[in-house]
A and B are shown apart, each in its own frame.
Chain A
Amino acid sequence: MNEQPKPKKQIGAPLNRVDGHQKVTGAATYSAEYQLPNMAYAVLVGSTVTKGRLTGLDTKAAERAPGVLAVISHLNAPKPPGPKPEGKDPSQPQTQGNPLQVFNDDKIRFNDQPIAVVVADSWARARYAAGLVKAQYAKEKHETNLEANADKAFLPTAAKKNPKHPMNDYQRGQVDAYKTGAVKLEAEYVIPTEVHHPMELQAITAHWEAPDRLTLYDKTQGTMATRRDFAKQWGLPEENVKVIATYVGGAFGNALHSWPHEAAAVLAAKVVNRPVKLMLTREQMFTMVGYRPYTWQKLGMSATPDGKITGITHESIGQTSTYEEFTEATLAQTRMMYQSPNVTTRYRLAALDIGSPIWMRGPGEATGAFALESAMDEMAYLLNIDPLEFRLRNYTEQDPEKNKPWSTKFLKECYQLGADRIGWSKRQLKPGALRDGDWLIGYGMGVGTFGAHRGAATVSAQLLPNGTVLLQCATTDIGPGTGTAMTQIAADTLGISPDKIRFELGNSSFPKAGTQGGSSTVNSVGPATQEACLALKDKLRTLAAASNPAFTSARKEDVTMQDGYLTVGGNKDTRVSYADVLKQAGGTTVMVEAKPGGEGQKYSMYSFSVHFAEVRVHQLTGEVRVSKLVSCADAGTIVNEKTAGNQMKGGAVGGIGMALMEHALLDDRFGRYVTKDLADYHVPVHADSPAVEVAFVNQPDPHVNALGTKGIGEIAIIGVAPAIANAVFNATGKRIRELPITPDKLI
């Protein structure tokens, strides 16, 4: 037998992105870049009041403007046959109230709510005409301030209706036990509204290819979800709607939802009977495609003098809109991260006259971790114990919320890796003890965790005549490098080089997959890719058996693909050419669905991370610079060291923004944001970010899936902001409980 050299293992290797060249050369086509014949362009007109009714809409000047094809508003919009918007239906899942209803009535529910869309033969003409639309309103008093509405906060309807819903109050042990603890603290924390602001603006091109067939080139994190939403709205069979999102230029969560602008483009395309392109402005990105909700939190904690936590009570009020109940897992980490016999959590919503929020990277867990991990630091100071040591004394060896063993947990290993790399031993417990001239130096840490979620996914695999294996799946890639990771998984499973694999995604016509969100894509699509590749091998084995009986009894794992031939384990005598295999009837295509098994019943499955920050705070100007940031993760198997590291770094930079500058400021008198562009709404620039150091434990989790992955996207940011806030305290002795930590709060 001629042994072939074993192909290099791809899983874990730092493979360059398979679509990197397209992206950096501009060859990648994003949703705003599709050019269809006879295309028209749409620009939205937004309400300038925050609450009330539209009493008049003068569209005459706009309609007469050059190139204008239509001005659509509630006065003339066709009514899609789908679910009616009236009467908020609390039985609907969260964020599926009536997001798609535009131009349906004269009600104004938030400032900049689309009240009309102008369609013209060019974008410039549409924009000009949009400026000519004049609206009159009957204003009503609006509420946009969370603190002022805290007394009206309520338990989410879904929780009221279902006592098992996770948004219900949680109780372990004694209620509010911290109040009688030996050493106790009670503090309030605030996270302001933060906006996703991916580089790519939200854009859609809607094309009715026939009266009952719709194609959308759309910025979405879920091609299947968008397809479902629009099929439902227009009363179409799902297969009549096609959603294409081959490339997505970042999203961070704001393309997890279908939004009014998408519905407006679909309506407009129907009215003018031409493909219609609609792209939001940066200003509109603040108002109509979600944000991380402003959240007030109160955390009480008690401990024994030797550092054992005896009680935690964590309460929060998050902002939602008046027409949808958006909830997120703000309090989840508090229930399972530390060993405490008594834990109480209470989650409430305040409905404000602002557009709906949506999950923003790390979502609620990142918000909650700011309070929990800040409080852990505060308690360590009260106890005069090193904050890392304090966390170790309350480490959980099994999930105290679900009373189940962890599938895997290597958080202690992360602590060690991170502490070594940041130089935690240099840290002084006493604030302000380290300095470099006028710069005060401090160290802080923050812990993050997120469920290792896995959903069902289907992948198809096919051998092409040129020897390439084509894999397809409807999943999207919003930036983590999904296609690259899947190529590596396929390469190892098939035993062929990555350049012989093409993984196509971002199309709802491909085999189905869930939305890219919640750190779940590799966990879900990864095993489907693996199983599809194994099924392909088996299929090829069967087909090859017609030419060479050696394949009849071969195992699928032994089918070797090389240089245009199949062999059994590399034995040249068994060679069958791809051409011969492809001649067989039926083709090579296989399609496999991979679903999670029952492991979730037995184990509690989470990814973990810890972030260590070194900051410098100028004692005169109050400026904060993050001089060092180390992020360590237990995320199971790392499929690609480079793209995974890239995700961790991106999350860490997002955490710097959260900690130090991101803040969508709203003037409550008008209900309008005063930060309307990226000059006023600050995200970090290169000079704000140190070279983030990343370390992975890289131990497979045998229970999530056969690959051993657990997910990275969220834990990259969860815990970063408190690490920085804690470092600021260590540097200055000032505890900032309301983000962002700007110079005015420190001088």
Chain B
Amino acid sequence: MNQFQYVRPTKQQAAIDAVAKDATATFIAGGTNLVDLMKRGVMTPQKLVDINRLPLTRIDADPGKLRIGALALNSTVADDKQVRERQPLLALALNAGASAQLRNMATVGGNMLQRTRCSYFYDTTMPCNKREPGTGCGALEGINRMHAIFGFSDKCIAVHPSDMSVALVALDATVQVSGPKGNRSIPFAELHRLPGDMPQKDTTLEPGELITAVDVPDGPFTKHVHYQKVRERASYAFALLSVAAALDLDSNNNIKAARLAMGGVAHKPWRLTAAEQALVGKPATEESFRQAAAIAMQGAKAFQHNAYKLKLGPNTIIQALKTAASVA
């Protein structure tokens, strides 16, 4: 690990200034990802700006929305009564992530900003355009069983690893950001970017911008929700593929509204709006789910080792919707 400076401001503006004015500085909160990356030399910040003393841990149950502070712990949010009642899908997704120990350290803001788990990104001796632009993509013709089937470029086929983000994109969340130029809101679907020619840039945040909170608007999705995560062991593993599903059903079991997003398939959490629209007005049956799943997979393309995702994707969508529909 390289030597670095460490500061721990108590004022938000001081934290933002510290990062905005120093291109080698970065924020640290729970550190569950950044510290690993620093140990391996994947990220080499010269200065860490610890934001844990900023007052950003509150979960506010406002009318019409929940405002979750960026420093609220994953475990706190997953266990929060308001979150469980008003946004159960978010609680499910959070609890599907990492391990209890990590959820007790990781913050909401840090969770959405975690870097890809692509092995080539993590190994500084291998090519990776995300880590070192211009060196090539090691995964493109390498071992790519965990990699993207949507939205990739020839520069990068990595996937975004967060479970929480999949639920947040499905729930139309909004990220509150504060930066050198003031405050702004970013729709969650626009926080993460596709790799294109700049895979080194994961998000649309500008230098020095700090996530302060995420707003999750109330909706009808308080009952028929499910987060289906497929992995090789029962816990503490990143998703091969995951699906966040939420349904609003009428008394005849017809679908009034639907939300659907996939994880483990793209450089960002992958919202499936066309499939959602196809579900509206349909009966909540396996046949409807099958049709929506087929729509969701349009445009998917696999590499040498991840062709299974072309089948696992629709299957997992069907399973997530079936479970969501049957939740009483």
B233 near A685 with CB under 8 A, answer: yes
Q: Mark B218-236, 1 if CB is under 8 A from A, else 0.
A: 0000000000101111111
- Of residues 251 to 308 in A, which have CB atoms within 8 Å of B's CB atoms? none
A233 to B228: give the CA distance in the assembly, Å.
56
When distances are taken between beta carbons in the complex, the residues of chain A under 8 Å from B235 are 685-688
Query: How many angstroms between the C-alpha atoms of A158 and B233 in the bound complex?
Result: 41
Asked if B101 is at the interface of the complex by the 8 Å CB criterion, the answer is: no
Given A621-B230, A625-B234, A685-B234, CB of A676 within 8 Å of CB of B125 = no
A444→B250 CA distance, assembly (Å): 45
- Chain B residues with CB under 8 A of A744: 145, 240, 308, 312
A-contacting residues, B114-130, CB 8 Å? 117, 119-120, 122-123, 125-126
Q: Does B5 contact A (CB under 8 A)?
A: no
Q: Which of A667, A684, A688, A743 contacts B230 (CB 8 A)?
A: A743
Chain A: number of interface residues, binned into ranges:
35 or more
Measured CA separation A297–B122 after assembly (Å): 33
Decide yes or no whether B291 CB sits under 8 A from chain A: no
Inter-chain contacts of A438 with B (CB < 8 A): 319, 322
B308 to A661, Cβ gap below 8 A?
no
Residues of B within 8 A of A679 (CB): 117, 236-238
Which B residues between 138 and 174 are near A, CB-CB below 8 angstroms? 138, 141-143, 145
Q: What is the distance, in angstroms, from B255's C-beta to the closest C-beta of chain A?
A: 20
Q: List 16 contacting pairs A-B, 8 Å CB cutoff, sorted by A.
A: A131-B41, A621-B316, A621-B319, A622-B312, A625-B234, A670-B126, A672-B123, A674-B142, A674-B143, A680-B117, A680-B119, A685-B235, A688-B233, A743-B232, A744-B145, A744-B308
B2 to chain A, nearest CB (A): 7
Which residues of chain A are within 8 angstroms of B141 by Cβ–Cβ distance?
Answer: 669
B105 CB to closest chain A CB, in angstroms?
15
Nearest chain A residue, comparing its CB with the CB of B314: A620
Q: Confirm or deny: B251 has a beta carbon within 8 angstroms of a beta carbon on chain A.
A: no
Cross-chain contact of A621 among B2, B125, B315 (Cβ < 8 A): B315
Shortest C-beta distance, B55 to chain A (Å), equals: 32
Beta-carbon contact of B119 and A675 below 8 Å: yes
Q: How far in angstroms is the closest Cβ of chain A from B46?
A: 14
Interface members, chain A 633-683 (any B CB < 8 Å): 660-661, 665, 667, 669-670, 672, 674-676, 679-680, 682
Tell me the bound Cα distance from A670 to B145 in angstroms.
17
Chain B contact residues, CB within 8 Å of chain A: 1-3, 41, 117, 119-120, 122-123, 125-126, 138, 141-143, 145, 228, 230-238, 240, 308, 311-312, 315-316, 318-319, 322
Pairwise interchain contact B311-A747, C-beta atoms closer than 8 A: yes
A569 to chain B, nearest CB (A): 58
Please name all residues of chain A whose beta carbon is closer than 8 Å to the beta carbon of B308 when the two chains form the complex: 743-744, 747
Of all chain A residues, which has the CB nearest B99?
A685
Q: A620 to B316, Cβ gap below 8 A?
A: yes
- The reply to whether the CB of A127 lies closer than 8 angstroms to some CB of chain B is yes
Expressed in whole angstroms, the minimum distance between the Cβ of A732 and any Cβ of chain B is 14
Residues of B within 8 A of A48 (CB): 125
Residues of B within 8 A of A685 (CB): 233-236
A423 to chain B, nearest CB (A): 23
Q: Is the interface of B mostly helix, strand, loop or mixed?
A: loop
Chain B nearest CB, measured from A745 CB (Å): 8
Q: B143–A665 contact, CB under 8 A?
A: yes
Does any Cβ of B come within 8 Å of A742's Cβ? Answer: yes
Judge whether A406 is part of the interface by a CB distance below 8 angstroms: no
Residue among B125, B234, B315, B322 making CB contact with A688, cutoff 8 Å = B234
* A49 → chain B closest CB, angstroms: 9
Contact A623 B230 (CB under 8 A): yes
Given contacts A128-B1, A625-B234, A747-B311, contact A676 B318 (CB under 8 A): no
Q: Nearest Cβ distance between residue B68 and chain A, in whole angstroms? A: 26
B125 near A670: Cβ-Cβ < 8 Å: yes
A124 proximity list for chain B (CB < 8 A): 1
Please encode chain A, from 683 to 704, with 1 for each CB lying within 8 Å of some chain B CB and 0 for all others: 0111110000000000000000
In the complex, A679 Cα to B238 Cα: how many Å?
8
The reply to whether B126 and A672 form a contact with Cβ atoms under 8 Å apart is yes
The CA of A744 and the CA of B316, in the complex, are separated in Å by 12
> Given A438-B319, A743-B308, are A676 and B1 also a contact pair (CB < 8 Å)?
no
Residue from B41, B125, B230, B318 in contact with A672 in the complex, judged by beta carbons closer than 8 Å: B125
- Docked complex Cα distance between A655 and B319 (Å): 29
User: Is B233's CB under 8 angstroms from A661's CB?
Assistant: yes
Residues of A within 8 A of B237 (CB): 679, 682
Which residues of chain A have C-beta atoms less than 8 A from B228's C-beta? 621
A682 interface neighbour in B123, B230, B232, B318, Cβ under 8 Å = B232
Additional pairs, 12, CB under 8 Å, beyond known A675-B119, A744-B240: A48-B125, A128-B2, A625-B234, A667-B138, A669-B142, A672-B123, A676-B119, A676-B123, A685-B233, A740-B232, A744-B145, A747-B308
Q: How far is the CA of A667 from the CA of B123 in the complex (A)?
A: 12
Asked if B119 and A743 make an inter-chain contact with CB atoms under 8 angstroms apart, the answer reads no
Closest to A620 in B: B315
Q: Which of B1, B41, B315 contacts A747 (CB 8 A)?
A: B315
Residues of B within 8 Å of A680, CB to CB, are: 117, 119
Q: Is the CB of A660 within 8 A of B2?
A: no
A682, B233: Cβ atoms closer than 8 Å: yes
How far is it, in angstroms, between the C-alpha of A345 and the C-alpha of B319 when the chains are bound? 46
Query: In the bound complex, do residue A620 and residue B1 qualify as a contact, i.e. CB atoms below 8 Å apart?
Result: no
| Cβ contacts under 8 Å, B145 to chain A | 744
Distance, CA A390 to CA B197, complexed state (A): 61
Within the complex, the shortest CB–CB distance from B156 to chain A, in Å, comes to 16
Closest A-B pairs by Cβ, 7 of them: A744-B308, A687-B234, A674-B119, A620-B315, A48-B125, A620-B319, A621-B230
CA of A53 to CA of B266 in the docked complex: distance in angstroms? 40
CB closest chain-B residue, reference A283: B40
Residues of chain B within 8 A (CB-CB) of A682 are 232-233, 237
* A660 to B233 Cα, complex, angstroms: 8
- B317 → chain A closest CB, angstroms: 9
Q: A60: shortest Cβ distance to chain B, in Å?
A: 18
* Interface contact A747-B123, CB-CB below 8 Å: no
Residues in A with CB closer than 8 Å to B236 are 679, 685
Residue of B nearest to A46 (CB): B125
Residues of chain B within 8 A (CB-CB) of A625 are 234
Which B residue sits closest to A124, measured CB to CB?
B1
Interface centre among B143, B228, B238, B318 (most CB of A within 10 A): B143
- Smallest CB gap from B323: residue in A: A438
Q: How far is the CA of A441 from the CA of B240 in the complex (A)?
A: 23
Question: A residues 369-427 with Cβ under 8 Å of B?
Answer: none
Question: Which residues from chain B contact A687 at a C-beta distance below 8 Å?
Answer: 233-235
Min CB distance, A652 to chain B, in Å?
16
Contacts of B316 on A, CB cut-off 8 Å?
Answer: 620-621
Cα distance, A124 to B167, chains bound together (Å): 40
Most A CB atoms within 10 A — which of B125, B141, B233, B318?
A: B233
Residues of A117-131 contacting chain B, CB below 8 A? 124, 127-128, 131
Q: Which residues of A contact B233 (CB under 8 A)?
A: 660-661, 682, 684-685, 687-688
B144 CB to nearest A CB, Å: 10
B151 to chain A, nearest CB (A): 21
Report B48 CB to chain A, min CB distance, Å.
Answer: 16
Query: Chain A's nearest CB lies how many Å from the CB of B242?
Result: 10
Chain A minimum-CB-distance residue to B316: A621
CB-based nearest B residue for A678: B236
Select from chain B the residue with minimum beta-carbon distance to A281.
B39
> How far does the alpha carbon of A743 sit from the alpha carbon of B142 in the complex, in Å?
20
Contact of A661 among B3, B117, B142, B232 (CB under 8 A): B232
Residues of A within 8 Å of B120, CB to CB, are: 674
How distant is A620 from chain B, measured CB to nearest CB, in Å?
Answer: 4
Q: Which B-chain residue is minimally distant from A669 (CB atoms)?
A: B142
Q: Knowing A438-B319, A674-B120, A674-B143 touch, does A128 contact B232 (C-beta < 8 A)?
A: no
Q: Is the beta-carbon distance between B318 and A620 smaller than 8 angstroms?
A: yes
Picked from A128, A660, A667, the residue with its CB within 8 Å of the CB of B143 is: A667
| A661 CB contacts on chain B under 8 angstroms | 232-233
Please indicate which of the listed interface residues B119, B228, B235, B240 has the most CB atoms of chain A within 10 Å of its own CB: B119
Minimum Cβ distance to chain A for residue B308 (Å): 4
Tell me, in angstroms, the Cα distance from A676 to B126 when the chains sit together.
13
